[in-house]
């Protein structure tokens, strides 16, 4: 059984890239480019963990807790389009 990696968000360098007429966020983790798959509020920690476990069944996955949110990253080779599974409010 594969497990997602977990690393504090403060320890990853997030960058943006352009693909399919949109700007996306990504990180480089263990020499692997990973795209943002989902963002969850801290109160939805279990949903973030469940989502990360679901993705890591087929692709390397990273979970980054950071303050008020959890971000889930998946290997760039994952063909799934996420339409960004975001459960954050649109305004701060």
| pLDDT-above-70 percentage for the chain | 88
Counting the structural domains of the chain, the total is 1
| pLDDT given for residue 19 in this prediction | 80
Contact predicate 76/34, CB 8 Å: yes
pTM recorded for the entire structure: 0.85
| pLDDT given for residue 86 in this prediction | 45
Structural domain includes residue 92: no
The whole-angstrom separation of Cα 5 and Cα 9 is 12
Q: What is the mean pLDDT of residues 62-77?
A: 94
Q: What is the mean pLDDT of residues 17-31?
A: 88
**Helix (DSSP H) and strand (DSSP E) numbers for the chain:** 1, 7
| pLDDT given for residue 39 in this prediction | 93
* Residue 74, domain extent: 5-86
Helix (H) or strand (E) holding 40: strand 32-41
> The domain spanning residue 64 has which CATH number?
3.30.200
């Amino acid at each position: 059984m594969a497990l997602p990696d977990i690393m504090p968000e403060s320890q990853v360098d997030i960058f943006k890239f352009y693909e399919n007429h949109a700007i996306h966020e990504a990180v480089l983790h263990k020499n692997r480019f990973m795209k943002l798959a989902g963002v969850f509020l801290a109160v939805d920690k279990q949903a973030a963990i469940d989502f990360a476990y679901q993705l890591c069944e087929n692709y390397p996955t990273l979970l980054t807790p950071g303050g008020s949110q959890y971000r889930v990253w998946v290997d760039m080779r994952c063909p799934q389009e996420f339409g960004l599974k975001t459960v954050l409010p649109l305004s701060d």
